[in-house]
Structure 1
Amino acid sequence: MFQVPATDEEWNTIERGFSSRWNFPGVYGAIDWKHVLIRAPMDSGSDFFNYKGTNSVILLAVVDDDYCFTYINNGANGRCSDGGVFQSSSIFNDLEKNMLPEGGFIVGDAAFPLKPYLLKPYQHSPLTFEQKIFNYRLSRARRIVENVFGILVSRFRIFERPIATNVMVTDKIIRTTCVLHNWLRKTSTTYLVKENIDHENVDTGEIIQGSWRTENLTLLPSVERMGNNHSSRLAREKRESYTRYFSNEGAVPWQSRMVL
């Protein structure tokens, strides 16, 4: 398990990065979870059998604005429910106890619950134009974690096939690759380059996919089941506040082209 930022300056550095690089102030991380395929342990029955029809353990991760892991929780068996994995993680308890600086939050996809500390996209249909803008702006910030998982699999080929070690060793392998990913991201000029990751042509409104998406990566499928629709008034009001902000004083010049 990684150590989340411990000082105000560490948190502030991440928030400034999301604000300046991804145009989303107040964000302190992007969260996602993926299945890591394994060979089922003997006598494990259906414990690791997931909804995709394979055996796996789940990797839950938070990343910063610069494609580095700041938190991982791995080892939950693939049969676990999406909400169960998040709610049993240490970061859930920390977030519930106001771990983030006041008013701060992380961003996730539709599988996560809407919380004052966790914003996710609007899901209902039809969406207003302003809600589409919010979803686009959130996607820009959240797409970082998708790319981190993609780079992890494309660089560490042990993920090309189900890992056949016992579960404890598999957990160590996953943690080790995440540590190596961070080290290489910070020290290498070739480990992660622009072509590897998603980027935008804001003139044409086109999202250009990173090279990892074109590879035959059969591992780390998403956890696709949706979270429930229950959310607090405070969480809904925070999302609505950012929706208004992104369509007014917080607008960026190209955003309309990206949702048309």
Structure 2
Amino acid sequence: MEIDPIIVSTLLIEDEENEIPQREKRIWVHSINLKRQWFGEYYSLYPDLLKDDKRFFKYFHMTPLKFRQLLGMLEPHITRQNTRYRMAIGPEERLVVCLRFLTTGNSFTSLADNYRLGETTVREIVYSTCEAIWAFIQPIVMPTPNENLWLSSEAQFRERWNFPNAVGALDGKHILIEAPQHSGSNYFCYKKHFSIVLLALVDANKKFIAVDVGAFGKNSDARIFQNSNMGQSLREGNFNMPPPKPLPDGNNLPHVIVGDEAFPLCTYLMRPYSRDDVKGNEEKKIFNYRLSRARNTVENAFGLLVRKFRLFEHKLHMSRDHTVTIILAICALHNFLREDICYWSKNDHVRLSDMRGIKNMRGARGNIRTTALAVRNTFKDYFCSEVGSVEWQRRRVREGKLH
């Protein structure tokens, strides 16, 4: 049986008309970025930095050894799969880009040009790498505090800062941000900027024990502390704090955290006497001096933080959630790098007060419980006793020096 060629042609035409056209995936990369493997900083500069520890430190604010350790811990979590359309950016390059953003505060646009990557790609690298840092580095370098950790911290405060029963120093900073959309005045702080709050508890070695990030900048600082996870855990006795123990003079006192006037006086939180209280009272001035000396650990921790991570030189231009993620990652990195070798030069010195993106908290006011006053007065009496005094304290107080 012969098949009519006209019928065959008609059937073929109908099949072609019934076919659903397949849309081809368009891949477009800017001509500048096509030269990434020749001129991008990861390929043109990074290999040479690995040969010089000091230059590497100047670029990343960490040594090559710590970088390798960090990469080894993060590599399984920041590796991406190749696709049929493009090669994935490797974990080492992703970490390089992220760290460069954190240590310089350069804009995403500037980093995209330097590394010959798309701006959206740079954003994704920074956000996802910071998420991995907090998720996988924080449990190692900032574990949930237990009684042994508190006791170890107390020993350091007692030996190095002459403040027995102190287990940590507390402070908070306003991190300046762009006003989030539809947020009203929630993030508008007393500094006349929009901000979120970084609340940090630090040990005697200037490492973060715990941090709380993200509170509204408009809230009073006492309220921020009371509503934070840290404040609630301390208030409810769920922070694994050790039981009270005697001072060297025999007085039994609770373990305490030291803070400044931004925080309320509690049995577990010591703050200085007010200016009116210390007028004409040398013993109270001595207490303030001793507390200030111990509390300087947290101020120094913030100073080290902004020295390594110049991101805080500027107001942060990103969503609130991404801002929180990045700040948490920086706190974890601070602990990870605390024992690293440093190659700072004189020009690398920065003052916390010069950082435009980070501001102090305000003093707190309110009722003070009698028991908290009694605890503070007992510490005062101990610091002024023969057993608890240090030889230089009266001279420092009379010279008008706080620390």
- Normalising by structure 2, we get a TM-score of 0.57
Residue in 1 aligned with 2:223?
84
The alignment partner of 2:360 has SS state of coil
The 3 A distance-change label for structure 1 pair 229 and 214 is closer
Residue in 2 aligned with 1:146?
299
Residue in 1 aligned with 2:273?
122
The 3 A distance-change label for structure 1 pair 185 and 67 is same
How far off is 1:256 after superposition?
1.2
Residue in 2 aligned with 1:232?
369
Q: Which protein is richer in helix relative to its size? A: 2
Residue in 2 aligned with 1:171?
324
Code of the residue aligned with 1:218 in structure 2: it is: R
CA contact (8 A) 1:34 1:221 kept: yes
CA contact (8 A) 1:185 1:192 kept: no
Report the more deviating stretch, 80-89 or 90-99. 90-99
User: Structure 2 CA distance, aligned partners of 1:69 and 1:109?
Assistant: 17
Report the more deviating stretch, 246-255 or 79-88. 79-88
From the CA coordinates, give the structure whose radius of gyration is larger: 2
Residue in 1 aligned with 2:185?
46
2:369 pairs with 1:251? no
Tell me the alpha carbon deviations over residues 148-201 of structure 1, each in whole angstroms, 9 at most, x when there is no partner.
Answer: 112212211111111111110000100000001001003x021799x9xxxxxx
Tell me the alpha carbon deviations over residues 45-97 of structure 1, each in whole angstroms, 9 at most, x when there is no partner.
Answer: 22211111111110011000000001110011211221221111112121112
Code of the residue aligned with 1:237 in structure 2: it is: A
User: Structure 1 CA distance, aligned partners of 2:311 and 2:356?
Assistant: 12
Residue in 2 aligned with 1:75?
214
The alignment partner of 1:250 has SS state of coil
How far off is 1:215 after superposition?
7.1
Identity %: 40
Code of the residue aligned with 2:367 in structure 1: it is: H
The alignment partner of 1:212 has SS state of coil
Tell me the alpha carbon deviations over residues 203-246 of structure 1, each in whole angstroms, 9 at most, x when there is no partner.
Answer: xxxxxxxx53277322321112x222411111111111111111
Q: How does 1:1-260 map to 2 (within 5 A)?
A: 3-6=143-146, 8-98=147-237, 99=239, 100-102=241-243, 103-125=254-276, 126-186=279-339, 188-190=340-342, 211-213=349-351, 216-224=354-362, 226-248=363-385, 249-260=387-398
Query: Mind listing any 5+ residue stretches in structure 1 that lack a counterpart?
Result: 196-210
CA contact (8 A) 1:185 1:191 kept: no
Report the more deviating stretch, 142-151 or 113-122. 142-151
The 3 A distance-change label for structure 1 pair 127 and 232 is farther
- Normalising by structure 1, we get a TM-score of 0.87
CA contact (8 A) 2:316 2:357 kept: no
User: Structure 2 CA distance, aligned partners of 1:78 and 1:30?
Assistant: 21
Q: Which protein is richer in strand relative to its size? A: 1
The alignment partner of 1:221 has SS state of strand
CA contact (8 A) 1:122 1:131 kept: yes
